Amino acid sequence: MFRRIFSIAANTFRETIRNKILYAILAFALFVIGMTFFLADLSVGDFARIIADVGLASIHIFGVIMAVFLGINLVSNEVDRKTIYILLSKPVRRFEFIFGKTFGLSVTLLLTTLAMATVLFLVHFSYRYGGRAEVGIFIASAGIYMELVLLTCLASLFSTFTTPVLSAIFTLSLFFVGHLTNYLYVLGEQSKGTAVRWGSRFLFYLLPNLENFNWKNEVAYGGLKSFSILGWAAGYLVAYAACVLCLSCLLFARKDFK
Amino acid sequence: MNEASRGAWGWMAAFGLLVSIGMSWRLLPLRDLPDSGRQVREVPGLLMAVSRSPEFAFGFRNVMADVVWLQAVQVAGNRKLTPTEYDRLYVLLNVEADLDPKFEMPYLLGGLVLGESPQHGREALRVFERGKVTHPADWRFPFHIGFTHYFSLGDAVAGGGAMAEAARLPGGPTYLPGLASRMLSEAREPEVALALLAPIVRQESDSARRAVLERRILDVTVERDLQMLEKAVEKYREKTGTFPAYLPVLVQDGILAAIPEEPNGGKYLLGRGGKVRSDRVSQRMRVFQKK
């Protein structure tokens, strides 16, 4: 089973890494990160903070673009090209296909995030006014990567039952909602109605909470020193991603390819 | 596509770019280009809306705060700001603080720049007060509040109080308690200055700082005595129509119970025009202010 998942993941990785759009997005992201070196000069005091903030925001934005637009085509491409029939006629179970596809794209995202984070680290380190070797950049980037993996899982979920355009809309909607769930919880707690309070709590736990992966703010203040703080977030990612992937497998298992 | 047609497309692209550059150059003088932040009066509409509910920054609060901060720097960087620009700077600083309350530089720099405007002293205070709420352990915020009270609003009592508050916080320079007491003394309330200094001295663990504080207490005590003696001299003049020849006359006349001892071991002397001085202290306590 693991061998088959790994084979599908390896193929997906090769397929996505050859995608020219991925390189275009990555090149633009690296350009923007590089430009922060000059942008920081416009500030007064805390110059390196501008580099960290704008650089991490770039990694986040371009990472989300990559995750969504590669993720929505994970399944639909195979269906459009009819290669799904060949794949599923072999001794490959449907859940192995979903797991392999998601895992393959996650590896691609890992490499691109790592490349962007490394460039940002170097720009931050080489900045002449207050630049330093800020390990928090890698920790915050790891948080961003976790968010991207979750978005990939969500995109693959939507791509099992709808068109790429709708998948993109749904995934991006969940990206925005995922950054508002804390607000939803707070609003619910302020309500006097019990039903509203419990309803908001239910939605808070049901919807993905992407703020769990957001440590960009801490980098600006040098508060991120250890990767250990990623532990709970990693646990949340594993649990939520497993839930989404199981749902994807369920929907994909019921899909009729005749 | 053969070599010749590829070359043709390339030349056409280059020609198109050249034409667009020409058009752009032709259009340049027809547009109003702001040469600095001076001409830009609008407030950051979208960012201001987001700042009211920062959750809608979708995880990009910091970078939005940076954008607003860079705008504020452009406004504050003008050599001479108009009242409208001070207003805009105040708005930008508030938007920035809503988005990233922990960023201390906008409070410190923005507040100082606002304090330069005679009409924006209160706004400067509000900016510093916001910073103080977020950074309660940072002595610089009450220090700048005191600075603004004293130098922008002319309120020495409030200024001295804020300086004394700054002096109680860790990390502050040794001169802060002295500055606080000087401000309060100039406000002719050295008793208040002494009351503020006493707990600061008690809490001070560093011997060098304690010595400085104790010297400061002596200075304030001298100022208190001088003011008290000058009041008594004035009372004597109102009673007799002339200034007393010596200070002990005040005791003989029943205006004072006793002449206080000069805490540095010296003497209090009566000068011309009813002014009293200490023979050990050359300069009266006063925060010098250039106007």
Tens of pLDDT, residue by residue over B96-141, are 898 888 888 888 888 888 877 778 888 999 999 999 999 999 888 9
- pLDDT (0 to 100) of residue B130: 92
B70 touches chain A (CB under 8 A): yes
Contact B61 A175 (CB under 8 A): no
Q: Give the mutation candidate from B52, B63, B75, B89 for the A interface (greatest A CB count, under 10 A).
A: B63
Contact B55 A182 (CB under 8 A): yes
- pLDDT (0 to 100) of residue B127: 92
pLDDT, mean of residues A80-85: 80
Facing A57 at nearest CB: one of B60, B73, B74? B60
- One-letter amino acid of A184: L
Q: Which of A28-32, A100-104, A195-199, B189-193 shows the lowest mean pLDDT across its residues?
A: B189-193
- pLDDT (0 to 100) of residue B197: 64
- One-letter amino acid of B110: G
What tokens appear for A10 in the block?
């390896």
Helix H or strand E segment including B268? strand B268-270
Helix H or strand E segment including B276? strand B276-278
What b/e readout covers A48-65, taking b as 16+ CB neighbours within 10 angstroms?
Answer: bbbbbbbbbbbbbbbbbb
What tokens appear for B223 in the block?
């100022």
Helix H or strand E segment including B239? helix B207-240
Cβ–Cβ under 8 Å, residues B263 and B222: yes
A50 touches chain B (CB under 8 A): yes
Q: Give the mutation candidate from A44, A56, A209 for the B interface (greatest B CB count, under 10 A).
A: A44
- pLDDT (0 to 100) of residue B188: 60
Using CA coordinates, name the residue in chain B closest to A179: B58
Q: How far apart are CA B291 and CA B288, in angstroms?
A: 10
Q: What is the DSSP letter of B269?
A: E
Residues in a beta bridge with A64: none
Whose CA is closest to A210, among A135, A143, A164?
Answer: A143
What tokens appear for B225 in the block?
């005595």
Facing B59 at nearest CB: one of A50, A54, A210? A210
- Chain A residues with CB under 8 Å of B107 CB are none
B52 touches chain A (CB under 8 A): no
Q: How far out from the chain centre does Cα B137 lie?
A: 17
Higher pLDDT residue, B77 or B39? B77
Q: How far apart are CA A191 and CA A193, in angstroms?
A: 6
pLDDT in tens, B32-73: 555 444 444 455 677 777 777 777 778 788 888 888 888 888
Q: Please, which pLDDT band fits residue A253 given cuts at 50, 70 and 90?
A: confident
Query: Which CB contacts under 8 angstroms, 24+ apart, belong to A181-189?
Result: A181/A207, A181/A208, A181/A209, A181/A210, A181/A211, A182/A209, A182/A211, A182/B55, A183/B53, A183/B55, A183/B56
- With 60 as the cut, is the pLDDT of residue B289 above it? no
Tell me the CB-side half-sphere exposure of residue A191, using CA atoms within 13 A.
15
Q: How far apart are CA A183 and CA B50, in angstroms?
A: 13
Whose CA is closest to B231, among B194, B288, B267, B190?
Answer: B190
- Chain B residues with CB under 8 Å of A39 CB are 70
pLDDT in tens, B194-223: 766 676 677 666 665 566 567 778 877 888
DSSP, collapsed to helix, strand or coil, labels residue A192 as coil
What tokens appear for B84 in the block?
């409208």
Q: How far apart are CA A120 and CA A36, in angstroms?
A: 9
pLDDT above 90 coverage of chain B, percent? 12
pLDDT in tens, A138-151: 999 999 999 999 99
- With 50 as the cut, is the pLDDT of residue B288 above it? no
List phi, psi (to 5°) of A193. Answer: -80, 130
Under 8 Å CB pairs connecting chains A and B tally to 63
